[in-house]
Amino acid sequence: MRFGPAGYPPEGKNPEGSLKYTKEIGLDALEVEFVRGARISPERAKAVGEAAKALDIRLSCHAPYFVSFNSEEMETREKSIGWVMDTVRAAHSLGAYIIVIHAASYGKSPGTALESVTAGLSKCKDMMDDEGIRDVILGVETMGKQGQFGTLKEISKIMDSLDGVRPVLDVAHVHARGVGCLKTKEDMEKMIDEFFPLCGDIAHFHISCIKYGDKGEISHLPLSSKEPDMQLLADVLEDSKQECTFICESPLISADAVVFRDMFPKYRITKP
């Protein structure tokens, strides 16, 4: 299991410094946030990727938030393919194994969302094949608002017709979408039992706590809020043989990544 922050911790002056800080506090994963666009040259990405590799930090990337494969505007759907591909190319240069995608909202056409998302990702996959990019997974995130595409069942339906796609399990989003549904260890077990058959070689998680209302997600919270109690998830996974990456999206991206890591006794670092 690997643990890390969503984004470069601000304690570092630059990406390399942030990677070094991440390693110094005992973390070994990091998600590069391209949420406002993947603007990085291949040369710079390769340099950052080499720094991460030297520190044994597993990289992933997050695609822009404005991806919307079910948009009413066809231009936005076409641009979404470009935004995903920009992230794929950056991830390839970085040596990141997966990109995380907010695929769509239901909008005025909820019945077309699955078909639209599948079609958009299929075009991305064709472009990846044409460019010889075979080392990057298209990760579709479970979403926290009830008006957004992204349940595990929906993502599994994409996988039925398209290779190279995996779910990214945002635990807080599942909790919020279900209006506080992850209350017990049994609730966590049920979620994991649905996720692990779909996750592939590495299960990619987003972790945080969350404020929610009747329609789902409102805002992310620190792990101390215990909405949901992430110790329940750690208890479920303690003896799991599944390889996992846990990316912390709480407001305390690195501090709470350490808090969650320390919920697993075998990964806890005891200071002399």
How many Å apart are CA 44 and CA 255, to the nearest integer?
A: 27
pLDDT band at 195 (very low <50, low <70, confident <90, very high): very high
CATH value of 2-261 in 3.40.50.720, 3.20.20.150, 2.40.30.10, 3.40.50.10190: 3.20.20.150
Degrees, nearest 5: CA angle 169-173-179: 135
- String of b and e for 117-143 (b: at least 16 CB within 10 Å)? bbbbbbbbbebbeeeebeebbbbbbbb
Whether 23 shows a pLDDT value over 80: the answer reads yes
Is a pLDDT exceeding 90 seen at residue 270?
A: no
- C-alpha–C-alpha distance, residues 137 and 247, integer Å: 16
In this prediction, residues 209-223 reach a mean pLDDT of 97
Q: How confident is the model at residue 119 (pLDDT cuts 50, 70, 90)?
A: very high
Q: Is the pLDDT of residue 269 over 90?
A: no
Is the pTM higher than 0.85? yes
Q: Are the C-beta atoms of residues 69 and 121 closer than 8 Å to each other?
A: yes
**Helical ranges in 55-149 per DSSP H:** 74-94, 113-130
Tell me which residue has tokens 């706590």.
209
Res. 271: pLDDT tops 70: no
Residue (of 269, 257, 233) closest to 30 by Cα position? 257
**33 bridge partner residues:** 62
Per-residue pLDDT, averaged over 142-166, amounts to 97
Start-to-end C-alpha separation, the chain: 23
Give the pLDDT of residue 109: 85
Q: What separation in angstroms does the CA of 126 have from each of 115, 133, 163?
A: 16, 10, 11
Span 148-172, mean pLDDT? 97
Mean pLDDT score of the chain, rounded to an integer? 97
pLDDT bucket at 244, cuts 50 / 70 / 90 = very high
pLDDT digits (tens, 9 = 90+) for 46-83: 999 999 999 999 999 999 999 999 999 999 999 999 99
